């Protein structure tokens, strides 16, 4: 089972979940959010909680939420592979690590945000990619209904499959508002997930070097 098909709590894969959302393909095959459907759903929610969707503060809320969803779920369109297609021939064969990549995503269980930072490292296999492209992969994949565990795997999977590096490693740290503002209500708590591929998984010293680089700032 690939990380793209990790089932949710109801046993539905993420790819099936995305297809069942209120979205559609345009005539040229691009992804488009079904804005009127979202607006109608938000209006129904406001009515269901006993609010008046016609009062001044809420009249435009369905449209605002639909526009927000268009932005925060924009990663449902396509895959991030295009960000990694332009590479450069370079003999660098040591570890490359990009730290403190901020990201926001939406927990698919409660549709509440989780946010934090990512650290991505890889050892090139003769070709390197532009620095910002790793951040773009993180951003693209985070702009979907997600769970942090799957997001971590997907970032590593895309880099591994497109760049074919000697190894790749990813660490995500995030605060989940579904845990801080509801349920157990533990503000300040965070979740850390990591994935290693290739030499990072096979070689303990390489893995240790990555984790040290991820948390150590040089003077």
Over residues 92-131, the pLDDT tens digits come to 899 999 999 999 999 999 999 999 999 999 999 989 999 8
Residue 78 tokens read as 């396509």
Please answer whether residues 165 and 121 qualify as being in contact, where contact means their C-beta atoms are separated by less than 8 angstroms. no
Please give the DSSP secondary-structure letter assigned to residue 13. Answer: B
SS3 state at 203: coil
pTM: 0.84
Give the lowest-confidence range in 3-12, 29-38, 58-67, 95-104: 3-12
Catalytic residue among 51, 70, 79, 110: 110
Question: What is the per-residue pLDDT for 29?
Answer: 53
The answer to whether residue 148 is catalytic is yes
Question: What is the per-residue pLDDT for 176?
Answer: 96
- State yes or no: pLDDT of 88 exceeds 80: yes
The answer to whether residue 90 is catalytic is no
Question: What is the per-residue pLDDT for 33?
Answer: 87
Check residues 188 and 196 and name the one with the higher pLDDT: 196
Max CA pair span of the chain: 64
The structural domains of the chain, with segments of one domain joined by +, span: 12-75, 87-215
Average pLDDT for residues 159-167, to the nearest whole number? 96
- State yes or no: pLDDT of 24 exceeds 90: no
Can you tell me the distance from the alpha carbon of 194 to that of 169, in angstroms, rounded to the nearest whole number?
A: 7
Name the pLDDT band for 91 (thresholds 50, 70, 90): confident
The CATH number, out of the four listed (3.40.50.2000, 3.30.450.20, 3.30.420.40, 1.10.286.10), of the domain defined by the range 12-75: 1.10.286.10
Question: What is the per-residue pLDDT for 95?
Answer: 96
Can you tell me the distance from the alpha carbon of 43 to that of 100, in angstroms, rounded to the nearest whole number?
A: 38
Partners of 210 in beta bridges: none
The answer to whether residue 83 is catalytic is no
Catalytic residue among 85, 90, 92, 109: 109
Average pLDDT, the chain: 88
**Residue 33 CB-density burial (10 A; 0-12 exposed, 13-18 middle, 19+ buried):** buried
Question: What is the per-residue pLDDT for 103?
Answer: 97
User: Is-same-fold flag (12-75; 87-215)?
Assistant: no
The answer to whether residue 153 is catalytic is no
Residues 180, 102, 211: CA angle, nearest 5 degrees: 95
Residue 183 tokens read as 């349920």
The answer to whether residue 176 is catalytic is yes
The answer to whether residue 110 is catalytic is yes
Average pLDDT for residues 158-167, to the nearest whole number? 96
Number of Cβ atoms within 10 Å of the Cβ of 14? 21
The answer to whether residue 107 is catalytic is yes
Residue 157 tokens read as 């999977």
Can you tell me the distance from the alpha carbon of 75 to that of 145, in angstroms, rounded to the nearest whole number?
A: 9
Catalytic residue among 83, 140, 148, 154: 148
Catalytic residue among 51, 70, 77, 108: 108
- State yes or no: pLDDT of 26 exceeds 70: no
- State yes or no: pLDDT of 140 exceeds 60: yes
Check residues 85 and 21 and name the one with the higher pLDDT: 85
Can you tell me the distance from the alpha carbon of 77 to that of 61, in angstroms, rounded to the nearest whole number?
A: 24
Please answer whether residues 127 and 86 qualify as being in contact, where contact means their C-beta atoms are separated by less than 8 angstroms. no
**Computed from CA positions of residues 99, 169, 148, 39, in that sequence, does the dihedral angle turn out positive or negative?**
positive
Can you tell me the distance from the alpha carbon of 47 to that of 39, in angstroms, rounded to the nearest whole number?
A: 13
Catalytic residue among 39, 107, 139, 140: 107
Name the pLDDT band for 215 (thresholds 50, 70, 90): confident
Name the pLDDT band for 201 (thresholds 50, 70, 90): very high
Q: Report whether CATH 3.40.190.10 matches the domain 87-215.
A: no
């Amino acid at each position: 089972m690939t990380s793209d098909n990790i089932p949710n709590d109801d046993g539905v894969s993420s790819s099936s979940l995305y297809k069942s959302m209120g979205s559609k393909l345009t005539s040229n095959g691009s992804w488009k959010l079904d804005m009127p459907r979202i607006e109608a759903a938000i209006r129904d929610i406001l009515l269901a909680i006993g609010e008046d969707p016609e009062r001044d503060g809420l009249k435009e809320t369905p449209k605002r939420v639909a526009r927000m969803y268009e932005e925060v779920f924009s990663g449902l369109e396509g895959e991030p592979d295009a960000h990694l297609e332009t590479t450069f021939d370079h003999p660098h064969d040591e570890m490359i690590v990009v730290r403190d990549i901020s990201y926001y995503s939406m927990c698919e269980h409660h549709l509440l945000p989780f946010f934090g930072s990512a650290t991505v490292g890889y050892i090139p296999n003769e070709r390197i990619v532009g620095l910002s492209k790793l951040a773009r992969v993180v951003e693209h994949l985070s702009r979907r209904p997600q769970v942090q565990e799957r997001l971590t795997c997907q970032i590593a999977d895309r880099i591994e499959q497109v760049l074919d590096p000697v190894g790749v490693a990813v660490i995500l740290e995030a605060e989940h508002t579904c845990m801080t503002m509801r349920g157990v209500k533990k503000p300040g708590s965070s979740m850390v997930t990591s994935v290693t591929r290739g030499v990072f998984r096979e070689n303990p010293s390489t893995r240790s070097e990555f984790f040290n680089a991820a948390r150590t700032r040089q003077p």
